[in-house]
Amino acid sequence: MEYRKIKDEDDSDIESSLKGKSHSVASSNVALGGGSNERTNWKRKGVVTCALTILTSSQSILIVWSKRAGKYEYSVTTANFLVETLKCALSLIALTRIWKNEGVTDDNRLSTTYDEVKVFPIPAALYLFKNLLQYYIFAYVDAPGYQILKNLNIISTGVLYRIILKRKLSEIQWAGFILLCCGCTTAQLNSNSDRVFQTSLPGWIMAIVMALLSGFAGVYTEAIIKKRPSRNINVQNFWLYVFGMAFNAVAIVIQDFDAVANKGFFHGYSFITVLMILNHALSGIAVSMVMKYADNIVKVYSTSVAMLLTAVVSVFLFNFHLSLAFFLGSTVVSVSVYLHSAGKLR
């Protein structure tokens, strides 16, 4: 067996690192022969999934850190706008590198048609709508209850994945998916969790609608990205993020126009704010990559495992106390990950 040296080892951002990696793996597999295509896919899937897991868990740690450092002083809408802008910029940087190496082709040219681009605003619109709802749900559900109800996302993603993308999970994988939801919820149990039973009907409805919006946005993004498999992911990302920028600009105007007009766009920004924006941008790109090379189910597993990793890391960073419920939930999630892979349909 012969392994070629990976060409690009000086990649400066995750985007090109992922691209570089998958490329060199692909070329080395030419030498290896049979089954290489599957192995390339498997490796690419593994790399983007690990990247998403690590980025998501460091994201939660940054949030805890920033909360320790004091309240959010910056406007969240401007930060979200900058995240979208940064993602757009990173996609363009990756594209210019690709154009230089491979030349401009039908699959990697930036220009698009109305037919291709007309569906790209939909996920951004769904997320915006979900984020707006989030402001109102706290009138009906307290914070611990909301943490618990958020796990409905897992179920809604699975159901919509089945219905909209018409992709099948085996019975064992469904069992694993139910366990993932139970395990994540168990790991988050605390003495206030039972309050979730006091949630009123409007609270339940809003929680379910939010779970459906979030699940639908995820599944829809996957459908868009997978519709044309040969299309370069950076072009697809670019268009997704352009609409993300546009919708977040609308959110700034609706929610924070006065604050931004009076105090300025960057009021309250700190070093940690910059780190959080960078992390969110890279996580966002990792999510797109997971949608392209894996699927929504892998994404949900990845972010759930990240939640557990965060808690373990927090033990060392913040003297966080792990409960028995956390150990039980983590074990259930681990078994669930095993079942997802053991239960693969042939």
Interface contacts to a copy of itself, rule CB under 8 A: 148, 171-172, 175, 178-179, 182-183, 185-186, 189, 191, 193-194, 196-197, 323-325, 328-329, 331-332, 335, 338-339, 342-343
Q: How far is the CB of 142 from a copy of itself (least distance, A)?
A: 14
User: Nearest distance from residue 127's CB to a copy of itself, in Å?
Assistant: 28
Name the residue among 156, 155, 142 with its Cα closest to residue 199. 142
Six token digits for residue 202: 């409007």
Is residue 162 within 8 A of residue 339, CB to CB? The reply is no
Residue (191 or 262) nearer to a copy of itself, CB = 191
The C-alpha atoms of residue 64 and residue 250 are separated, in whole angstroms, by 28
Compute the least distance from the CB of residue 198 to a copy of itself, in Å. Answer: 11
Determine the Cα–Cα distance for residues 119 and 6; give it in Å rounded to an integer.
Answer: 37
Instruction: State the helix-helix crossing angle for 271-293 and 36-68, rounded to 10 degrees.
Output: 150
**CB-wise, 255 or 323, nearer to a copy of itself?**
323
Query: In angstroms, what is the minimal distance from the CB of 264 to a copy of itself?
Result: 45
How far apart are alpha carbons 86 and 100 in whole angstroms?
Answer: 21
- Closer to a copy of itself by Cβ: residue 71 or 321: 321
Q: How far is the CB of 329 from a copy of itself (least distance, A)?
A: 8
Q: Please name the residue that has the structure tokens 């700190």.
A: 270
Question: Between residues 183 and 244, which has the closer beta carbon with respect to a copy of itself?
Answer: 183
Nearer to a copy of itself by Cβ, of 105 and 192: the residue is 192
For residues 181 and 210, give the distance between their C-alpha atoms in angstroms, rounded to a whole number.
16
